[in-house]
């Protein structure tokens, strides 16, 4: 149990376009979902925390108008990178909790912006 | 806010030997301390975790110890094998928001 999926697993897009990444909890209801970004050879950096039906809480330095997060249901959260630029190229990972402290991670999405 | 420091950044050990990775945290309110293994391009994989009401936990070749007074916790891997080669991250969180604060990671290299 506690499986989290992410789609797509990788995406290449042109500079200036928007990209949507989906995060789904497949066999449980996720009370909270987290979005992380990871650059090569670095640790995971928390971007935002989202709870179903409410606005996401963004970490300092993360532009909420650029990284749109929607948590429409207890099993789905989406991250939209708007007007993507090459510096947004990164590995984006979501995680979900089911009420406790353990987080269940999605497989990640590799975004490359040309 | 919470800060987690992790050492060393790289650890190279002979196959069969033990490996120890250490982390310190700053906020005494933190009460959950997971360790993750991450292979290149993959998601972090929880390998062991410990909560603040426990001082030590063991799962086969892997153990974690927690010293709440000193605010540090360590990962111990015994009888290391080539498949243990990966990047290991420690993290800390508290009940108020369950946000994980991550260490910088340790690249573990197992030499044959």
Residue A1 has pLDDT above 80, yes or no: no
Chain B interface includes A110 (CB < 8 A): yes
Chain B interface includes A16 (CB < 8 A): no
How far away is chain B from the Cα of A107, in angstroms, using its nearest Cα? Answer: 5
For chains A and B, count residue pairs whose Cβ atoms are closer than 8 Å. Answer: 47
Among candidates A41, A35, A38, which has minimal Cα distance to A71? A35
Q: Which residue has the tokens 């062991």?
A: B48
Residue B83 has pLDDT above 90, yes or no: yes
Contact criterion met (CB < 8 Å) for A106 and B43? yes
Q: Which of B44, B45, B95 has the CB atom closest to A44's CB atom?
A: B44
Comparing B83 with A51, the larger pLDDT belongs to: B83
Contact criterion met (CB < 8 Å) for B43 and A32? no
What gap in Å lies between CA A31 and CA A108, rounded to an integer?
Answer: 20
Q: Which residues contact A20 (CB under 8 A, 6 or more apart)?
A: A78, A79, A80
Tens-place pLDDT, residues A59-113: 999 999 999 999 888 999 999 999 999 999 999 999 999 888 899 999 999 999 9
Tens-place pLDDT, residues A25-65: 999 999 899 999 999 999 999 999 998 888 899 999 999 99
Please give the biggest Cα pair distance in chain A.
39
Among candidates A10, A36, A23, which has minimal Cα distance to A113? A10
Q: What is the pLDDT of residue A101?
A: 86
Tell me the pLDDT band of B35, cut-offs 50, 70 and 90.
Answer: very high
Residue B52: CB atoms within 10 Å: 16
Contact criterion met (CB < 8 Å) for B105 and A43? yes
Is residue A38 within 8 A of residue A45, CB to CB? The reply is yes
Chain B interface includes A40 (CB < 8 A): no
Q: What is the pLDDT of residue B95?
A: 80
What gap in Å lies between CA A53 and CA B27, rounded to an integer?
Answer: 30
What gap in Å lies between CA B30 and CA B77, rounded to an integer?
Answer: 24
Q: What is the pLDDT of residue B2?
A: 86
The pair of structure tokens assigned to A11 is 């995406």
Enumerate the residues of chain B whose CB falls inside 8 A of the CB of residue A105: 43-45
Q: What is the pLDDT of residue B108?
A: 98
Q: What is the pLDDT of residue A91?
A: 98
Contact criterion met (CB < 8 Å) for B98 and A101? yes
């Amino acid at each position: 149990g506690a499986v989290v999926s992410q789609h797509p697993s990788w995406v290449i897009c042109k500079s200036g376009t928007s990209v949507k990444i989906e995060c789904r909890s497949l066999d449980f209801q996720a009370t909270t979902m987290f979005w992380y970004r990871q650059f090569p050879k670095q640790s995971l950096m928390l971007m935002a925390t989202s709870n179903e039906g409410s606005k996401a809480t963004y970490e300092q330095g993360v532009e909420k108008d650029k990284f749109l997060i929607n948590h429409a249901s207890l099993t789905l959260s989406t991250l939209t990178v708007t007007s993507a630029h090459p510096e947004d190229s990164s590995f984006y990972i979501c995680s979900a909790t089911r009420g406790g402290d353990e987080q269940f991670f999605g497989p990640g999405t590799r975004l490359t912006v040309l | 806010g919470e800060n987690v420091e992790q050492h060393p950044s790289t650890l190279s050990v002979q196959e069969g030997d033990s490996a120890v990775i250490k982390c310190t945290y700053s906020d005494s309110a933190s009460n959950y301390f997971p360790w993750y293994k991450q292979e290149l391009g993959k998601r972090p994989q929880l390998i062991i975790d410990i909560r603040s009401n426990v001082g030590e936990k063991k799962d086969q070749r892997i153990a974690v110890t927690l010293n709440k007074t000193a605010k540090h916790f360590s990962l111990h891997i015994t009888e290391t094998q080539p498949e243990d080669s990966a990047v290991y991250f420690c993290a800390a969180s508290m009940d108020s928001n369950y946000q994980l604060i991550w260490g910088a990671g340790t690249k573990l290299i197992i030499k044959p």
